[in-house]
């Protein structure tokens, strides 16, 4: 076993505090990595505070991990000591059900093992995430950081592992590309990656935000147009025109104004996962134009590698604000106020101070 330093929530109402624990020695198929950087996802906050219910404590969040391989099990083929690698939202799945066989481990029929608040398939232990100095993961769930990225890029690569893949996967599934008009709702961690990726895929991108102060940034990130979603005249200008909307909002809200923007056969994909459900949408606007509301969960391992390679090729990383782990509770409060440009990333070296 190796001794690991981390930060954990001990209960829903408590701030995160230092927490030391042990990680298993590598099993034959395991890769052990020293964590360099870990992004801060809104899901970390939802889970640490038990907003989705079902959180087991202590809870060590973190699923946007970049690190350096420190040891490998005897059967590991794809990685060696010193490689720069990444781990995202999953660390295991059954790997044998029809869904896993289709490279969609995030929808594993026997239950995906998530990077934190999951249960190890072999020994039933609680999984602990990337707010820690080290992690040990089955090599099938470890990603290669593309060679185009150098050391200075690594902090901005970490958020690709959740914010990147969670937006890339639906953009690909709904075949966004040149000629598509895509709406992105909410400019936070996921939203800013959705803009960058949809722009790189060649789409015309419209950001819908509640924060007028983010308009200039959105344009720099690649949005062609910015709409203040509370302004009904601005909203009306896009009525019946969007092929696809990716909705990243982390709070319950009225979906109807966005459904009205879809063209016939358009889809709004919900990826934001608020604590409380959205009010039920009006049915008639959906029936009258065969519009759809869908959902999507992260992306499979094969597609995550494809997304990383796409980002390497297009020089896409996340816009980040680096924090020491000691500022994690403050960063959660700022995230709730929409005050993040556009992802906090923890410098894990700060855990060793």
For tokens 């029929």, what's the residue?
109
Q: How far is the CB of 43 from Zn ion (least distance, A)?
A: 4
Q: Where are the alpha helices (H) located in 201-270, listed in sequence order?
A: 215-221, 232-236, 256-259
**Residue of 194, 340, 345, 351 interacting with ligand NAP (CB under 6 A):** 340
Omega of the bond leading into 78 within 30 degrees of 0 (cis): no
**Residue of 8, 26, 40, 43 interacting with Zn ion (CB under 5 A):** 43
**Is the CB of 112 or the CB of 180 nearer to Zn ion?**
112
Q: How far is the CB of 61 from Zn ion (least distance, A)?
A: 9
Q: Helices (H), strands (E): how many in the chain?
A: 11, 17
Stretch that binds Zn ion, among 45-53, 162-170, 214-222, 312-320 (CB under 5 A): 162-170
Asked whether the beta carbons of 121 and 113 are under 8 A apart, the reply is yes
Asked whether the beta carbons of 161 and 155 are under 8 A apart, the reply is no
d(CA 296, CA 289): 22
Which positions from 209 through 268 interact with ligand NAP, judged by CB under 6 A? 209-211, 214, 248-251, 253
Does 38 participate in binding ligand NAP (rule CB under 6 A)?
no
Q: Residue 136: which of Zn ion, ligand NAP, none does it interact with, CB under 5 to 8 A by kind?
A: none
Q: Which residues contact 211 (CB under 8 A, 6 or more apart)?
A: 187, 338
Does 162 participate in binding Zn ion (rule CB under 5 A)?
yes
d(CA 154, CA 346): 12
Does 318 participate in binding ligand NAP (rule CB under 6 A)?
no
Report how many residues bind Zn ion under the rule CB under 5 A: 3
* Interface residues toward ligand NAP, by CB under 6 A: 41-43, 46, 162, 166, 186-191, 209-211, 214, 248-251, 253, 271-274, 296-298, 335, 338, 340
């Amino acid at each position: 076993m190796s001794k690991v330093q981390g930060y954990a929530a001990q209960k829903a109402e408590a701030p995160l505090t230092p927490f030391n624990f042990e990680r298993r020695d590598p099993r034959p198929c395991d890769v052990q990595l020293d964590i360099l950087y870990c992004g801060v996802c809104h899901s970390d906050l939802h889970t640490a505070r038990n907003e989705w219910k079902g959180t087991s404590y202590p809870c060590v969040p973190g699923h946007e991990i970049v690190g350096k391989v420190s040891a490998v099990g005897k059967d590991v083929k794809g990685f060696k000591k010193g490689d720069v690698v990444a781990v995202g939202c999953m660390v295991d799945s059954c790997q044998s059900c029809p869904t896993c066989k289709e490279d969609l481990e995030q929808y594993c029929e026997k239950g995906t093992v998530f990077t934190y608040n999951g249960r190890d398939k072999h020994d039933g232990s609680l999984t602990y995430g990337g707010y820690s100095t080290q992690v040990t993961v089955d090599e099938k769930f470890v990603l290669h950081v593309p060679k185009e990225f150098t050391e200075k890029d690594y902090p901005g690569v970490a958020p690709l592992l959740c914010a990147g893949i969670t937006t890339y996967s639906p953009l690909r599934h709904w075949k966004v590309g040149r000629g598509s008009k895509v709406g992105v709702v909410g400019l936070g961690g996921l939203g800013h990656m959705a803009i960058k990726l949809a722009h790189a895929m060649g789409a015309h991108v419209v950001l819908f935000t509640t924060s007028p102060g983010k308009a200039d940034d959105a344009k720099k990130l690649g949005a062609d147009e910015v709409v203040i979603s509370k302004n009904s005249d601005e909203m009306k200008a896009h009525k019946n025109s969007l092929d696809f909307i990716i909705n990243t909002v982390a709070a319950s809200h009225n979906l109807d104004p966005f459904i009205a923007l879809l063209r016939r056969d358009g889809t709004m994909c919900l990826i934001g996962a608020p604590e409380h459900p959205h009010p039920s949408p009006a049915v008639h606007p959906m029936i009258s134009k065969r519009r759809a509301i869908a959902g999507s969960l992260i992306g499979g391992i094969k597609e995550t590698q494809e997304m990383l390679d796409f980002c390497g090729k297009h020089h896409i990383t996340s816009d980040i604000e680096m924090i020491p782990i000691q500022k994690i509770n403050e960063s959660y409060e700022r995230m709730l106020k929409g005050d993040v440009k556009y992802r906090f990333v923890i410098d894990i070296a700060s855990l060793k101070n």
